[in-house]
């Protein structure tokens, strides 16, 4: 299993003082040096963390893979087509939310999303759809030609009782299998961290996880390079 790092919260910290530090681009390079296979950033409509300048510079500096997380709105699509990340991950976005709250409703907006995917493909940009772990969402994703899906692991991460955790994990496992059966690339992410990654890392159908908050938090105490290396070890341990 591979690890991609979401660096949004380096930008959150920078923006708290309105200056230049810490620079998410510098953070991205440290993550790559530590073994991350990709850098993820979310250019939100309100630019609360990552800014346009970050995305442009990341495109120039990131040598592994740049994954631009984004809402499928005309403005951000224009920017993405211009910047040409290696991959875009389409997510739903609400202004009031603290972080992405749920998966995309692919079933309910198949036609629109198909057009968006076609646009990206015509610019040779791969597409991933961030979806809740349900088969209908995967069927719809496959139908409209996505390259991969990212399974929303938020409910698993937030489950409190061991029973609920087990149930959520089963859903993730079964949908990951289904994704592979459909021939899709299968990623996972949201709310994953040092204490809950192992059971997810053991699911062999998941190709890659995307982790942000937990690693940036850990980095504050042990440094970014070590925080990334520790997570890579956990992600690989079960294979
Ligand atoms: N994947 C997606 C689609 C997300 O929206 C986020 C949060 O930005 C993440 C992964 C990373 O989540 P976390 O910061 O909780 O690790």
pLDDT at 95: 67
Ligand 1 center from residue 43 Cα (angstroms): 12
Query: What number of helices (H) and strands (E) belong to the chain?
Result: 11, 8
Which atom of ligand 1 lies nearest, measured to the CA of 69?
3
Packing angle, helices 52-61 and 24-33, rounded to 10: 30
Nearest CA to ligand 1 atom 5: 100
pLDDT at 101: 74
152 catalytically annotated: no
Reported as a single tens digit per residue, the pLDDT across 158-183 is 999 999 999 999 999 999 999 999 99
Give pTM, 2 decimals.
0.95
Residues contacting 235, CB < 8 A, separation 6+: 1, 2, 3, 197, 201, 209
Task: Find where tokens 């204490």 sit.
Answer: 195
The CATH number for 231's domain is 3.20.20.70
Nearest CA to ligand 1 atom 3: 130
190 catalytically annotated: yes
Per the structure, how many domains does the chain have? 1
Ligand 1 center from residue 211 Cα (angstroms): 6
Residues paired with residue 66 on neighbouring β-strands, in sequence order: 39
Reported as a single tens digit per residue, the pLDDT across 146-162 is 999 999 999 999 999 99
Distance, CA of 11 to CA of 34 (rounded, Å): 19
Distance, CA of 7 to CA of 62 (rounded, Å): 12
Ligand 1 center from residue 111 Cα (angstroms): 25
3-state secondary structure of 223: coil
Determine if ligand 1 sits within 6 Å of the CB of residue 178. Answer: no
Reported as a single tens digit per residue, the pLDDT across 3-38 is 999 999 999 999 999 999 999 999 999 999 999 999
Q: What is the CA radius of gyration of the chain?
A: 17
Closest to 212 measured CA to CA, from 61, 62, 67, 19: 67
pLDDT at 238: 74
Q: What residue numbers bound the domain in which 230 lies?
A: 2-237
Which of the four pLDDT bands, split at 50, 70 and 90, describes residue 198? Answer: very high
Which atom of ligand 1 lies nearest, measured to the CA of 215?
16
């Amino acid at each position: 299993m591979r690890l991609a790092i979401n660096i949004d919260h380096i930008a959150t910290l920078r923006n708290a003082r309105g200056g230049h530090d810490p620079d998410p681009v510098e953070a991205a390079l440290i993550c790559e040096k530590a073994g991350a296979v990709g850098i993820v950033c979310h250019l939100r409509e309100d630019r609360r963390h990552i800014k346009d300048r970050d995305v442009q510079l990341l495109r120039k500096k990131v040598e592994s893979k740049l994954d631009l997380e984004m809402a499928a709105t005309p403005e951000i699509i224009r920017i993405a087509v211009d910047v040409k990340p290696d991959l875009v991950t389409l997510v739903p976005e609400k202004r009031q939310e603290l972080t992405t709250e749920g998966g995309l409703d692919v079933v309910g907006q198949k036609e629109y999303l198909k057009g968006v995917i076609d646009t990206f493909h015509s610019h040779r940009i791969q597409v991933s759809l961030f979806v809740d772990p349900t088969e209908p969402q995967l069927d719809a994703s496959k139908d409209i030609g996505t390259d991969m899906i990212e399974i929303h692991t938020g409910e698993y991460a937030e489950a409190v009782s061991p029973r609920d955790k087990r149930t959520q994990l089963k859903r993730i496992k079964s949908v990951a299998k289904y994704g592979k059966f459909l021939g899709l690339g299968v990623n996972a992410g949201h709310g994953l961290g040092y204490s809950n990654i192992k059971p997810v890392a053991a699911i062999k159908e998941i190709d890659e996880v995307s982790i942000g908050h937990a690693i940036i938090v850990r980095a504050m105490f042990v440094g970014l390079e070590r925080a990334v290396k520790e997570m890579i070890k956990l992600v690989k341990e079960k294979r």
